[in-house]
Structure 1
Amino acid sequence: MQVPIPRGHNTNMGSILRAHSRLLSKYPATMQCLQAGVLMGVGDASSQFLVEGKSLGDYEWRRTARFLAIGTFFIGPVLKKWYGLLDCKFGSGKGISAVKKVASDQLIFAPTFLGAFLSVLGVTQGRSVTQIQQEIKTNYKDIMLTSWSVWPAVQTLNFSFVPLHHQVLVVQTFAIFWSTYLAWKTNRGH
């Protein structure tokens, strides 16, 4: 599927969008996973520079690499499968289909996924099982409540108006802000 480029836009940007669209059509799983990884990495870098106020000398590149890897090898594949399952189970489009998807996403997937994410993050940080359990005990409720304050609206729009093959990109683009929050929240005091 070609992405139409409005007249007057920079041709370089148009070329990038067309190349992205071609790659997404040809390699949907790979592209969605890479997108998730890059955007998670951007979220962590944003947290370090914009929220935490770190200088370039204090920047923790390993932390960003960890978020990039988690996005690429964990979040991207899981979201792709989950959105495919939701689409298969409830169909596409607005109305009751989108409501069922959002309800399933927020009441079943999100609570489970958050626990898994915090566990995977803890493992990649070299933390012990006890430390990971403490991190979950300390942050889970606050992160989940914050999640429920933003994600239902995002997912309602995503499931109602965005084609399945672009849903991971839309979520991960919004998730730059979410990743910034998660990076800040899970790295305070470390």
Structure 2
Amino acid sequence: MQTTMRLQSIFKLYQKALVRRPYLVQAVQTGTLMGAGDIISQTIIEKKLIKELDYKRTLQFSSIGLFVGGPALRFWYGLLNHHIGSSGKSVTIKKVFIDQLVFAPAFLFLILSAVGTMQGKPWDIVKKDIHANYCDVLKTNYYIWPWVQIVNFYYVPLQYQVLLVQIVALFWNTYLSWKTNRKQLLE
């Protein structure tokens, strides 16, 4: 009972902060969940011990969420809501179609570019990494995200859409972290 009340209190604080500073709150939650995805990638997929974690890598991945991912998602969902609408089956289908046709390819390119840049790679190496990974990442995106976005755009109010996406993205970010660091692991 006490735990439930605490969770309700935390959620109310979250709601208030979200109303006052939506971009900041969603940027912080995105950065946090991207960092968590990197830690999951390092510990579970790459089988590193906690003492072997590359915290610089985690901070870099987290920074991409904080400064790029969270603000971009919040802006994009607001734009879709404003220009396409906020509810209904046809609105949902239009949003998912535009999201996956326009935003997903551009956003994935931006994320892959940002990861390579944050890793300190020269642009010619970043381009090679993008060339090697982009199609595979985009294809994997199309297996997962249209379904998530149908639920997100149909059932979830705008202020919680980034949160839902970032909860699912915890697993997506684990995949992206593994995919974008795979070559370094093989070297």
The bucket for the TM-score relative to the shorter chain is over 0.9
Deviation of 1:56 (Å) = 1.4
Task: Determine which of 44, 47, 67 is the counterpart of 1:50.
Answer: 44
Task: Determine which of 159, 164, 168 is the counterpart of 2:158.
Answer: 164
In structure 2, give the amino acid aligned to 1:71: G
Say if 2:55 is the partner of 1:31.
Answer: no
In the alignment, which residue of structure 1 is the partner of 2:59? 65
Task: Classify the secondary structure of the residue corresponding to 1:10.
Answer: helix
Say if 2:105 is the partner of 1:105.
Answer: no
Looking at structure 2, the residues matched to 23 and 75 of structure 1 have their Cα atoms a distance apart, in angstroms, of 19
In structure 1, give the amino acid aligned to 2:156: V
Higher helix share: 2
More divergent stretch after superposition (172-181 vs 107-116): 107-116
More divergent stretch after superposition (140-149 vs 114-123): 114-123
In the alignment, which residue of structure 1 is the partner of 2:79? 85
Looking at structure 1, the residues matched to 37 and 166 of structure 2 have their Cα atoms a distance apart, in angstroms, of 10
Looking at structure 2, the residues matched to 23 and 183 of structure 1 have their Cα atoms a distance apart, in angstroms, of 29
Task: Determine which of 135, 140, 146 is the counterpart of 1:152.
Answer: 146
* Count of residues paired in the alignment: 184
In the alignment, which residue of structure 2 is the partner of 1:176? 170
In structure 2, give the amino acid aligned to 1:125: Q
In the alignment, which residue of structure 2 is the partner of 1:122? 116
Say if 2:145 is the partner of 1:138.
Answer: no
Looking at structure 2, the residues matched to 189 and 87 of structure 1 have their Cα atoms a distance apart, in angstroms, of 39
TM-score, normalized by length of structure 1? 0.94
What do you get for the CA RMSD once the two structures are aligned?
Answer: 1.2
In structure 2, give the amino acid aligned to 1:151: W
In the alignment, which residue of structure 2 is the partner of 1:96? 90
Deviation of 1:189 (Å) = 2.5
In structure 1, give the amino acid aligned to 2:168: F
Structure 1's consecutive aligned runs of 4 or more residues displaced over 6 angstroms after TM superposition are: none
Note the alpha carbon deviations across 1:14-67, whole angstroms, 9 max, x for none. Answer: 221111111111211110111111111111111111111110121011111111
TM-score, normalized by length of structure 2? 0.95
Say if 2:68 is the partner of 1:74.
Answer: yes
In structure 1, give the amino acid aligned to 2:142: W
**What is the identity percentage for the equivalent residue pairs of Structure 1 and Structure 2?**
42
Deviation of 1:9 (Å) = 5.2
Structure 1 unaligned residues grouped into runs of 5+: 1-6
Looking at structure 2, the residues matched to 77 and 57 of structure 1 have their Cα atoms a distance apart, in angstroms, of 32
Looking at structure 1, the residues matched to 9 and 39 of structure 2 have their Cα atoms a distance apart, in angstroms, of 27
Looking at structure 2, the residues matched to 29 and 109 of structure 1 have their Cα atoms a distance apart, in angstroms, of 18
User: Contact 1:94–1:161 at 8 Å: present in 2 too?
Assistant: no
